[in-house]
Chain A
Amino acid sequence: MIDFNLVPLLPEIFLSLVGMGLLIVGVSQGNVSTRVICWASAAGLAITALILLGVGWETRTVLNGMFVMDKFAGFMKLLILTGLIASLALSVRYIIQEGMERFEYPILIIFAGVGMMMMVSANNLLTLYMGLELQSLSLYVLAAFHRNSIRSSEAGIKYFVLGALSSGMLLFGVSLIYGFTGTIDFTSIGETVSTLEVIPYGLTFGLVFVLAGLAFKISAVPFHMWTPDVYQGAPTSVTALFAIVPKIAAFGLLMRLLFEPFMGMSDQWIQIIYFIAVGSMVVGAFAAIAQNNIKRLLAYSSIGNMGYALIGLVAGTAEGAGAVVLYLAIYMIMTAGVFAVVLSMRRQGMAVYRLKDLSGLSQTNPGMAYPLAILMFSLSGIPPAAGFFGKLVVFNAAVASGYYILAVIGVVSSVVAAYYYLRVIKVMFFDEPADAFDKGIPFARRAILFISVLFVLGFAIKPNLFVSSSFDAASVLFTG
């Protein structure tokens, strides 16, 4: 049966066209048009989001089942697009300040976005790989975007080499899965797996390799080594992007993969996810204590946070999946706010990143210090901030499925993590003031910071708003 109804694909098609169109504009106009292209890209992303809302989120597959559109994909794509718009808005002033005002920047973000949207809609191992690579290649280039900086180039190379390795592993896993099930279509794989009486080792191996590849993308232990270096080396605006968006896409992919075709093998993958969740939480908590660079600190924080999100996967229930989605959404919004502050840490026109540079910020620049403090409390999961509710739902999912030990490890590591989040607050509030930062935070950054803090504080008033929608979105993975 040939299906030419491309409506569910419209957002991706439109976004690709925007990317290509802007590429032409950029090539003809040169780097002077960067600003315009940035805002045009943001507008393009926003329109894509509107189209996404318009195409309807009922479950449909197109292209012979290679691409699926459902509530889950819709919700994740909305998050991705929001994250991309936020990171673009955070970037504009920064790339000008740092002298890397080149028109490719927003266009690469757009293509990465197309890749991410493909990832969460992938219903076939090929689509999965295509989306993943489109995203990854754009991000490799972005990491090295500050090409005059050795660190940035190093970050790009490191990310690329390790990323290529992980893609290789993933591809190897895909080939094993294909070999043992005879299909690359998620639905067919799911049917095959559920009819197997004994899971062949080859299939398990294939799944392990695929998970290794994906664990790299979400920077989960033990595939996290690249994260601190790349976070530190990449231009800060790109770091912000890395921290905010790709993880949502990778999680979307991971969840669809595990809950749909491989649900029948949950005994196998739960052990793996359990291990990487514990590893990520513990490493994320302890390694961050020794960091003095805020970007590295945030890198470990993101490793730890991925660990918490993975707890929801271990639970293996609709509740757990909903918890993951909610956790990621909250994490994304908090991180965007944190990076709005980090990007504004400039002294005499130079960006500074040491934790010490924040000394006494509550006195020199309360407008930055208070929001950051609120976000840090939220990241450490202290109620009534939004971060607490994220942790509440994932731990709840774990406990409901009987993973008490995992929940205890989780909460204890969150206490350890609280130590370094508190350190940021301590430096800002308890220490003697250092020189003030440069004035003049651009409007876009202030707006993002404001929205983020408002969300964090206001979440507790009407939590239903977000909790229901993310639980709804995740539930389709279990009904279909």
Chain B
Amino acid sequence: MVDFPVLSLMTFLPIAGVLIILAIRGDEEVVAQNTKHMALYSSLFTFAFALFMYTRFDGTSAEFQFVEQSSWLKPLGINYHMGVDGISIFFVLLSSFLTPICILSAWDVVKTRVKEFMIAFLVLESFMIGTFVALDAVLFYVFFEGVLIPMFLIIGVWGGKRRVYSAYKFFLFTLLGSVLMLVGLLALYSETGTTDIPTLMESNIPIGLQYWLWLAFFASFAVKMPMWPVHTWLPDAHVEAPTAGSVILAGVLLKMGGYGFLRFSLPVFPDASAFFTDFVFWLSVIAIVYTSLVALVQEDMKKLIAYSSVAHMGFVTLGLFTATSQGIEGGIFQMISHGLISGALFLSVGVVYDRLHTREISRYGGIVKNMPKYATVFMILMLGSVGLPGTSGFVGEFLVLLGAFQVDTTIAALAATGVILGAAYMLLLYRRVIFGPRVNDDALSMPDLNARELGLLVPLVLLIIWLGVFPGTVMDKISPSVDKLISNYNERLELNVDPAAGPALIEYEEEGTQ
């Protein structure tokens, strides 16, 4: 344990960077250079803190660690409460790891309004970390929704042709979901008299109310995740966002939905979660199969990866709601692995986009000859996305399916077809871009990865392989917290078997124990 507020430091260090950047004066050129460096350093420092926290984290404990608590909104009894457990720590690491990568990826690419771009990213980082470490529901909400501001600007200012439409769609979709959660949150507060997440996890909420609250929270997390059918903002946002924006969007922002399910839906509303399990399962399966099919026919590389994200997130929701340790751990692992893989995939799309300024798949083809390094990196990422054993993608999907088979064979079988479809569209993409007919001369004259791009992609690739071979690095620290979550969940379910809501619950439990 440490005796200084490491979580607050991590959360607000990027903001401190912003303040320094705001003070930079001088020529535009000089300002841009200094801003980039400043942004990089503050995000690297944040990452260093995150690593430090990781080394001091006690992986055998399921308790919240590095806890900070002080009075914040006194008349309402809302506290500034922060802490991490095994569930959140890897999301914090992921956020602080991807931000410097995003900043570096934009290094030579973003040429207009560099200062604003960097400020937006640092603010975004601060809010992302805040979301994952907040242990008060209102504080969580503040960060969770605050993320919209920088992301809206990132898409809208530095995005592609339809950036305004996409930025709006992103903002309003997510906001609508979030505000419903806000009402749910307030209802929860008026019921229990607290917004403290650890306390909420202990408190018993009447089943009738749980259903409503679960739906209110679901509205927010499902949009953020995104789950079918509210996923339509994601392809638009991804296509129009600049590369760095896509990376962070796919890498971290989508995980906030899954994190929300883990922090609120499952532990606070266990009965409602059990009740709605089938509903979530079907939505997940539809997402997996349907969006995979949609991904098959995409002509735009980013759109294809965006749809594949929706499909992968379908696995996550499926895994989380199996409420088995394999399912939940697999879900978390899948989120982390997807954060790395899709982030890297968007970076790779960015690489060719920077050279040719198009994302259309048919404009490429046969670039394996002139870009061998790129082809190699892209292949590993592609295989990771497909879920090849030996990559991190495999571990997550496999565990999720393992969990799903314990609960519902039909659903698991349907979800497993998604793995095949996933392989289909990714291999198709790879064939058309990397191999394929050598018809486009400009594509064939593209130079291979430069040192900066390699420097960005290689750590990601190594991590993907490392996690594929040694998933224990992550799993060991996750499991105590997940076990605690599940045992709490089951305890509370048994406590609340009331005759009115009985049939659905009992039926479910019987299936679960088969």
Report which A residues bind B (CB closer than 8 A).
322, 362-363, 377, 382-384, 388-389, 392-393, 395-396, 399-400, 404, 407-408, 411-412, 414-415, 418-419, 422, 425-426, 429-430, 460, 463-464, 467-468, 471
A235 to B183 alpha-carbon distance, docked (Å): 39
Q: Which residues of A contact B141 (CB under 8 A)?
A: 383
**Residue in contact with A468 in the complex, picked from B74, B153, B183, B189, CB distance below 8 Å:** B74
Knowing A322-B75, A400-B190, A415-B175, say if A408 contacts B180 (CB, 8 Å). Answer: yes
CB closest chain-B residue, reference A381: B179
- Are B176 and A415 touching (Cβ within 8 A)? yes
Task: Decide: B156 and A467 in contact? CB cutoff 8 A.
Answer: no
Is A399's CB under 8 angstroms from B190's CB? yes
B182 touches A430 (CB 8 A): no
Beta-carbon nearest neighbor of B116 in chain A: A362
A426 engages B156 (CB within 8 Å): yes
- Which residues from chain B sit less than 8 Å from chain A, CB to CB? 71-76, 113, 116, 138, 141-143, 145-146, 148-149, 152-153, 156-157, 163-164, 167-168, 171-172, 175-176, 179-180, 182-183, 186-187, 189-190
CA distance A384 to B141 in the complex (A): 9
Which residue from chain B places its CB closest to the CB of A471 in the assembled complex? Answer: B75
Contact A460 B142 (CB under 8 A): yes
Q: Given known contacts A392-B138, A419-B168, A429-B157, is B73 in contact with A467 (CB within 8 Å)?
A: yes
Chain B residue at minimal CB-CB distance from A363: B113
* Chain A residues whose CB sits within 8 angstroms of the CB of B142 once the complex forms: 383-384, 388, 460
Write out the residue numbers on chain B whose beta carbons fall within 8 Å of the beta carbon of A426.
156, 164, 167-168
Give the docked Cα–Cα distance between A43 and B35 (Å): 43
With beta carbons under 8 angstroms apart, the residue of B74, B172, B182, B190 that contacts A411 is: B182
Task: Tell me the smallest distance from the CB of A470 to a CB of chain B, in Å.
Answer: 9
Chain B residue contacts of A384, Cβ below 8 A: 142-143, 146
Q: Which residues of B contact A419 (CB under 8 A)?
A: 168, 172
Which of B116, B146, B189 contacts A382, CB < 8 Å? B146
Asked if A464 contacts B71 (CB within 8 A), the reply is: yes
* C-alpha gap A465/B480 in the complex (Å): 40
Distance in Å from the Cβ of A307 to the closest Cβ of chain B? 15
Task: Let me know if A415 and B172 touch, CB within 8 A.
Answer: yes
Bound together, the chains give a CA A425 to CA B149 distance in angstroms of: 11
Measured CA separation A225–B297 after assembly (Å): 52
Let me know if A464 and B180 touch, CB within 8 A. Answer: no
Q: How far is the CA of A393 from the CA of B190 in the complex (A)?
A: 12
The 10 closest A-B pairs by CB, nearest first: A411-B179, A383-B142, A399-B186, A400-B190, A471-B75, A415-B176, A430-B156, A407-B183, A464-B74, A396-B186
Q: Which residues of A contact B75 (CB under 8 A)?
A: 322, 464, 467-468, 471
Q: Which residue of B lies closest to A431 (CB)?
A: B164
A-B contact pairs, 21 of them (CB 8 A): A322-B75, A383-B145, A389-B73, A392-B182, A396-B186, A396-B190, A400-B190, A404-B187, A407-B183, A411-B180, A411-B183, A418-B172, A429-B156, A429-B157, A430-B156, A430-B167, A464-B71, A464-B75, A467-B73, A468-B75, A471-B75
- Determine the residue in chain B with the shortest Cβ distance to A401: B190
CA distance A407 to B183 in the complex (A): 7
User: Quick one: closest B residue to A475, CB to CB?
Assistant: B75
Are A430 and B183 in contact (CB-based, < 8 A)? Answer: no
Q: Which residue of B lies closest to A416 (CB)?
A: B172
| Given A384-B146, A388-B142, A429-B157: A396 in contact with B179 (beta carbons within 8 A) | no
Indicate whether A412 sits within 8 Å of B146 (C-beta atoms), given known contacts A399-B186, A426-B156, A467-B73: no
The docked-state distance in angstroms from the alpha carbon of A393 to that of B141 is 14
For B180, list chain A residues within 8 Å (CB): 408, 411
Question: Is there contact, CB below 8 Å, between A418 and B72?
Answer: no
A392: chain B residues at CB < 8 Å are: 138, 182, 186
Beta-carbon contact of B164 and A430 below 8 Å: yes
Contact B72 A463 (CB under 8 A): yes
Roughly how many angstroms separate A412 CA and B152 CA in the complex, as a whole number? 19
B74 to chain A, nearest CB (A): 5
B72 surroundings in chain A (CB, below 8 A): 463-464
State whether B171 touches A422 (Cβ < 8 A): yes
CA of A322 to CA of B71 in the docked complex: distance in angstroms? 19
Contact of A412 among B167, B176, B187 (CB under 8 A): B176
Complex CA–CA separation, A382 to B180 (angstroms): 14
Q: Are B179 and A464 in contact (CB under 8 A)?
A: no
Distance in Å: Cβ of B22 to nearest Cβ of chain A:
10
> Across the interface, which residues of A come within 8 angstroms of B149, CB to CB?
377, 382
A272 to B176, CA, bound (A): 27
Chain A's nearest CB lies how many Å from the CB of B346?
22
Given contacts A383-B145, A396-B76, 7 further A-B contacts (CB under 8 A): A383-B142, A388-B145, A392-B182, A408-B180, A422-B168, A426-B164, A430-B167
- Whether A395 and B183, one on each chain, are in contact in the complex, defined by CB atoms closer than 8 angstroms, is yes
List, in ascending order, chain B residues with CB within 8 A of A411's CB.
179-180, 182-183
- Say yes or no: A395 contacts B73, CB within 8 Å: no
Report A386 CB to chain B, min CB distance, Å.
Answer: 12
With beta carbons under 8 angstroms apart, the residue of B74, B116, B146, B172 that contacts A383 is B146
Measured in the bound complex, the distance between the Cα atoms of B76 and A464 in whole Å is 10
Docked-complex contact B157 and A404, CB < 8 angstroms: no
Q: Which of A383, A384, A389, A422 has the most C-beta atoms of chain B within 10 angstroms of its own C-beta?
A: A383
| Interface pair B183/A404, CB less than 8 Å apart | yes
* Chain A min CB distance to B485 (Å): 27
Chain A residues positioned under 8 Å from B145 (CB to CB): 382-383, 388
**Which residues from chain B contact A362 at a C-beta distance below 8 Å?**
116
CB neighbours (8 Å) of A383 from chain B are: 141-143, 145-146
Residues of A close to B138: CB separation below 8 A: 392
Are B171 and A418 neighbours in the complex by a CB distance under 8 Å? yes
Residues of B within 8 A of A382 (CB): 145-146, 148-149, 175
Shortest B150–chain A CB gap in Å is: 11
The answer for the CA separation of A400 and B195 in the assembled complex, in Å, is 13
A267–B47 CA distance with the chains assembled, in angstroms: 57
Query: What CA separation (Å) do A363 and B175 show in the bound complex?
Result: 27
Docked pose: A425 CA to B72 CA in angstroms: 30
> Looking across the interface, which residue of chain B has its beta carbon closest to that of A418?
B175
Which A residue sits closest to B145, measured CB to CB?
A383
A415 & B179 in contact (Cβ 8 Å cutoff) = yes
Instruction: Report the minimum CB–CB distance from A429 to chain B (whole Å).
Output: 6
Q: Are A393 and B76 in contact (CB under 8 A)?
A: yes
How far, in whole Å, are A404 and B186 apart by their CA atoms in the complex? Answer: 10
Residues of B within 8 A of A322 (CB): 75
- Nearest residue (CB) in A for B22 is A370
Find chain A residues with CB under 8 A from B183 CB: 395, 399, 404, 407-408, 411
Chain B residue, CB-CB nearest to A405:
B183
Smallest CB–CB gap between B304 and chain A, Å? 26
CB neighbours (8 Å) of B175 from chain A are: 382, 415, 418
Interface centre among B73, B167, B172 (most CB of A within 10 A): B73
Query: Which residue of chain B lies nearest to A464 when distances are taken between CB atoms in the complex?
Result: B74
Please, which residues of chain B bring their CB within 8 A of the CB of A414? 179
Q: Which residues of A contact B116 (CB under 8 A)?
A: 362
Instruction: Provide the bound-state CA to CA distance between A464 and B116, in Å.
Output: 31
Q: Are A467 and B186 in contact (CB under 8 A)?
A: no
Q: Is the CB of A396 within 8 A of B163?
A: no
> In the bound complex, how far is the Cα of B152 from the Cα of A471, in angstroms?
34
Query: Please, how many angstroms separate the alpha-carbon atoms of A298 and B7 in the complex?
Result: 40
B179→A399 contact, CB < 8 A: no
